[in-house]
Amino acid sequence: MNVLVVGGAGYIGSHTAKTLKRAGHNPVVLDNLSTGHRWAVRWGPLVEADLADKKAILQAIRDHQIEAVIHFAANAYVGESMQNPAKYFRNNVANMLNLLEAQHESGVKRIVFSSSCTTYGIPERVPISEDFPQSAISPYGESKLMGEKMLKWFGECYGLGWVALRYFNASGADPEGEIGEVHDPETHLIPLVIDAALGKRPPVRIFGTDYPTPDGTAIRDYIHVMDLADAHVRALQYLLEGGESTAFNLGTGHGHSVREVIAAVERVGGRKVPAEEAPRRAGDPPALVADPSKAHRILGWEAQYRELNQIVETAWRFAENRKQ
């Protein structure tokens, strides 16, 4: 199938393009390269275009006989979204609307959408299942929630078939080392800890040591990017087979604290990680852990990288060899 991978030059999009190709599909990447990388587009053509430009989307759909869409393109910094909410609503909501309209106008009836566990805000308890209330606490989280709502109504009104995948903490890198996580600025814990260990960045700051968790640091569910990529291919297949539009949580179901991540990097790298304690980062919930049983039940999906060490090993290898 010819699949338009919107935002396919980015972290999760590029890993999904690779996995799509391996599964026998043709990924066509549409990306404005604002945060993505040309070097990460290796498994099909790149259409350099912005979602603000609906004509360009329609043209790409026509030129490449697109049959389905996977939509990754978004701004994804919670902190930045608090400083500049308009950017998030424009890029993540208004521009997504162009994509949905272009799909409607050209009869492309299926979409898999990158959503996020941030749509749950601060959950009452963990693990989080899909029926938990969604009440985002940042413009970023809200923009993802609005994306889900647009899908729902395009489904109701026009018969669009959709799957929203609510990622927990995407992490790790392609085990073959071809692609990996490169953000600028980098705000994610695992690459920052690894770079601190490699002496490429200053000591990592542990944001909050007074959380109500066993070691006082915040807990997250780190899910390998190849497992996420696999879930997208399954979600596409599910839609093709007539599966009902719905949302899935993607996580391992196990949480790890910031200190546990640092310890894992020390084990994998065989060296001490320079770290210092710092105040909590605004808007960070104490614990986010997925209940991934719905994705298992319906998509047959399950994380293959179950150990934090395995995730860190792939990220370490990529960071060590990275030239970009």
Contact residues toward ligand UDP (CB under 6 A) are 169, 187-189, 192, 204-207, 218, 220, 258, 281, 284
The smaller minimum CB distance to ligand UDP, of residues 36 and 255, is found at 255
The smaller minimum CB distance to ligand UDP, of residues 221 and 291, is found at 221
The smaller minimum CB distance to ligand UDP, of residues 163 and 258, is found at 258
Q: How far is the CB of 44 from ligand UDP (least distance, A)?
A: 29
Q: How far is the CB of 170 from ligand UDP (least distance, A)?
A: 8
* Among 250, 257, 264, 260, residue whose Cα is nearest residue 303: 250
The smaller minimum CB distance to ligand UDP, of residues 231 and 258, is found at 258
The smaller minimum CB distance to ligand UDP, of residues 222 and 238, is found at 222
Q: How far is the CB of 167 from ligand UDP (least distance, A)?
A: 9
The smaller minimum CB distance to ligand UDP, of residues 65 and 187, is found at 187
* Among 118, 124, 166, 113, residue whose Cα is nearest residue 138: 118
Place of tokens 């009440």: 135
Place of tokens 């026009």: 158
Q: Is the peptide bond before 127 cis (omega within 30 degrees of 0)?
A: yes
Q: How far is the CB of 38 from ligand UDP (least distance, A)?
A: 25
Task: Answer left, alpha or beta for residue 10, where phi above 0 means left and psi between -120 and 50 means alpha.
Answer: beta
C-alpha neighbours within 13 Å on the C-beta side of residue 317: 13
Place of tokens 């393009």: 17
Q: How many helices (H) and strands (E) does the chain have?
A: 11, 14
Q: Residue 42 corresponds to which tokens in the numbers above?
A: 């290796």
Q: How far is the CB of 51 from ligand UDP (least distance, A)?
A: 23
Place of tokens 């604290």: 257
Phi, psi of 58 (to 5 degrees): -60, -40
Mode of pairing for the β-strands spanning 46-48 and 26-31: parallel
DSSP state of 136: -
CB 120 within 8 A of CB 134: yes
* Among 41, 252, 286, 101, residue whose Cα is nearest residue 167: 252
Radius of gyration of the chain measured on its C-alpha atoms: 19
**What residues are labeled active site?**
140
CB 216 within 8 A of CB 258: no
Q: How far is the CB of 213 from ligand UDP (least distance, A)?
A: 10
Phi, psi of 187 (to 5 degrees): -120, -5
